[in-house]
Amino acid sequence: MKKIILSLLVILLSTSAIIAQETIPAPTVDSGDTAWMIVASALVLFMSIPGLALFYGGLVRRKNVLSVFAQIFILVAVISIEWVVIGYSNAFGSSSIEWLKPYFGGFDWAFLNNINISDLSPAFISHSQPTPEGGTIGTVPHLIFIIFQGMFAVITPALIVGAFAERIKFKGFLIFSLLWALFIYNPVAHWVWSADGWLFNLGALDFAGGTVVHINAGIAALVTAIMLGKRRDYKGHAIPPHNITYVAMGTAMLWIGWFGFNAGSGLAADGLAANAFLVTNLAAATAALTWALLDWFIDKRPTLVGISTGAVAGLVAITPAAGFVGVGGALIIGIAVSVICFIMVAYVKPKLGYDDSLDAFGVHGIGGIIGAILTGVLATPAIQASYSGALYGNLNQLWIQLIATVATMVFSGVGTYILFKITDLTVGVRVTDKQEATGLDETQHGETAYTNFD
């Protein structure tokens, strides 16, 4: 009798386990999320080409506009290849060496090995679905996640172009940029966004790249600008842009593309994406207006370049916070970043004398720092219940944001210095005075952007 009862209990428990497992359906692709992420990936590429190319290209002199376009276009090509060959695995994979896991992603996914067309993406930020095994996984194909993140990998070294524009050899630029992507961008992306990353597990918040993209690139921009030296005719103040229409067009494309950058970073077409879209637009608008008012008050006239620069600063600063703050936070971030970046560009840079040609550090570096820190202050549980900042009683989040900011600044600064030195000692980085005077379009590419017809 006891054996019969025990047998019945075993059958009952086994049946209960099967039923429990069956209550959690197998994860599936969400077609709405997938469609949105395809669009978001295209929008982020649109930020690089033609958005950033036009924005930076308009700010330089006419003899250098094609060099800027060439640098950004070639990065889209080279980093896209690097990303699938090794970059994605280094950034989002898991190292086979235990002590390296928090810092480096390994090579298991090199050439996208072991990733199938039917695989779902890793769970990222907050949006995921449970698996019968008790884990979580995303709702879009893994390949979409790879291409979306690849567009971030492309634009980050492209941002640095603004620091050394008009005076860098194309060969030296290309080698340095590839090394920087491999040894600086990929590790920082792993730290912050991989489930193994030490900053991810510390609790650092970076919804769409304030730390990984903007602080990282901004600090590299400052280091390269100082190491490369000033342009031969730089007098301590901005050299007038050759085509402000390009600047405005590029800004408009960046603004539009940024909706994919930020609203796509939750990997779903849901309320979190809607909030990220809303606060991204609001922060950009607030910063653009603030910069225009500063121009108007200080220099007696608002400038289109100023409005454009303010908008970009707002977009930069809201990037880490877009999934964690509401309307109030976006307004505060927009005002704060515009005022501080204006001071950096108009007063601090001329005072210190470094030639950050197109203010890559003054806008992206400083804007990223402001956004990362204010995320630790303004993150509200009204947007995501699991996250709150100092303003809502979680002072520890501000401390974590400061750790992530400083760690990224130090790693990017030291690493950039080493890689720049290696590049300069091997192939050289700076063009000659004669080449700089003639312009990089002719001397580096044998082309001219504008032709005068008789």
Q: What is the pLDDT of residues 324-357, one digit of tens each?
A: 999 999 999 999 999 999 999 999 999 999 999 9
Q: pLDDT digits over 219-245, tens only?
A: 999 999 999 999 998 887 788 999 999
Q: Is the pLDDT of residue 14 over 60?
A: no
State yes or no: pLDDT of 454 exceeds 60: no
Query: Is the pLDDT assigned to residue 19 strictly greater than 50?
Result: no
Report the chain's terminal Cα–Cα distance, integer Å.
Answer: 109
Segment 368-381 mean pLDDT: 98
Distance CA 243, CA 384 (A): 43
Complete DSSP assignment for 342-370: HHIIIIIHHHH----TT-IIIIIIHHHHH
Q: Which domain holds residue 394?
A: 31-445
* Number of other residues whose CB lies within 10 A of the CB of residue 308: 25
Count the domains in the chain.
1
In this predicted structure, the answer to whether residue 323 has a pLDDT above a threshold of 80 is yes
Per-position DSSP letters for 264-315, written without gaps between them: GGGSSSSHHHHHHHHHHHHHHHHHHHHHHHHHHHHHSS--HHHHHHHHHHHH
Please write the tens of the pLDDT for every residue from 88-122: 999 999 998 999 999 999 999 999 999 999 888 87
Query: Is residue 128 over pLDDT 70?
Result: no
Question: pLDDT grade, residue 132 (50/70/90)?
Answer: low
Radius of gyration, CA atoms only, the chain:
24
* Spatial distance between the Cα atoms of 19 and 97, rounded to a whole number of angstroms: 38
Partners of residue 129 on adjacent β-strands? 137
Highest mean pLDDT out of 5-19, 20-34, 173-187: 173-187
CA distance 121 to 95: 18
Beta-carbon contacts of residue 301 (< 8 Å; ≥ 6 apart): 295
Nearest Cα to 370, choosing from 257, 156, 170, 218? 218
One-letter identity of residue 371: G
In a domain, 270, yes or no: yes
Residue 355 lies in a domain: yes
Q: CATH number of the domain that 436 lies in?
A: 1.10.3430.10
Give the pLDDT confidence score for residue 233 in this predicted structure. 87
| Residue indicated by tokens 């390009």 | 246
Contacts of 347 (CB under 8 A, 6+ apart): none
Instruction: State yes or no: pLDDT of 285 exceeds 60.
Output: yes
In a domain, 229, yes or no: yes
Residue 7: inside a domain = no
Residue 135: pLDDT over 70: no
Q: Is residue 8 part of a domain?
A: no
**Does residue 10 sit within a domain?**
no
Whether residue 83 lies inside any domain: the answer is yes
pTM of this structure: 0.92
Report yes or no on 18 lying in a domain. Answer: no
pLDDT digits (tens, 9 = 90+) for 142-172: 999 999 999 999 999 999 999 999 999 999 9
pLDDT tens figures, 252-276: 999 999 999 999 999 999 999 999 9
Task: Give bridge partners of residue 426 from the DSSP assignment.
Answer: none
Residue 235: its pLDDT value, please? Answer: 83
* pLDDT digit string, tens, across residues 170-226: 999 999 999 999 999 999 999 999 999 999 999 999 999 999 999 999 999 999 999
State the average pLDDT for the chain.
92
For the cut 70, the answer to whether the pLDDT of residue 3 exceeds it is no
Q: Give the span between the Cα atoms of 378 and 249, in whole angstroms.
A: 32
Q: Containing H/E element for 34?
A: helix 31-46
